[in-house]
Amino acid sequence: MAESSGTEIRSDATTAPPEPGVRRPRRRWLLGVVAVVNALAAWIGMLGLLGGWLSFGTVVTERLPFSSPEVAGLALGALVAVPSTVLAAVAFMGDDRWSPMAVCVGALLILWILVQVVVIRTFSVFQPICLALGASFVVAGVRGRPATR
């Protein structure tokens, strides 16, 4: 006589696909963490440029708009730090707008780096990292959109 473990496996049982929003909490949380790290780096960079303790050097500074690291710092704050901070907050709160916001913030970060390369004409290891972050935000946002009917 065979013993039963209490669970019955039926041959007609099917595995239903997961609900569309099942993985979203984990994706939102990870997106929030990455956005916080990006926002912190941008805030520190902005403060460093505004405070004068972060310098690009004379050649690069002359290439900045108005030859001003302060303008660059304000632009970094407005175009990277603030949007990344808002994205992190929205993602952590579980707001349904996280998905389109991730796409917008990612596209803005990519655009920021492309304009930076054109303006300062100097390579930094942070540029490919930020491009990858921007692309990951866009991908996460597109994949996180609810299915339309």
Weakest-pLDDT range from 5-9, 15-19, 79-83, 85-89: 15-19
pTM summary value: 0.77
**Over residues 54-63, mean pLDDT:** 86
| Residue corresponding to tokens 């473990």 | 5
Residue range 90-101, pLDDT digits in tens = 999 988 889 999
Residue range 36-57, pLDDT digits in tens = 999 999 999 999 999 989 888 8
CA 106 to chain centre: 6
If pLDDT is split at 50, 70 and 90, which confidence band does 8 have? low
94 to each of 27, 89, 128, how far by Cα in Å?
10, 9, 29
The residue extents of the domains of the chain are 24-143
Taking all residues of the chain, what is their mean pLDDT, rounded to a whole number? 84
The Cα–Cα gap between 52 and 133 comes to 27
Where on the phi/psi map is residue 77: left (φ > 0), alpha (ψ -120 to 50), or beta?
A: alpha
Helices (H), 13-97: 24-51, 58-63, 69-76, 82-93
Which one-letter DSSP state was computed for residue 144? T
If pLDDT is split at 50, 70 and 90, which confidence band does 139 have? very high
| Residue 10 scores a pLDDT above 70 | no
| Residue corresponding to tokens 């009917």 | 149
What sign does the CA torsion over 44, 47, 52, 53 have? negative
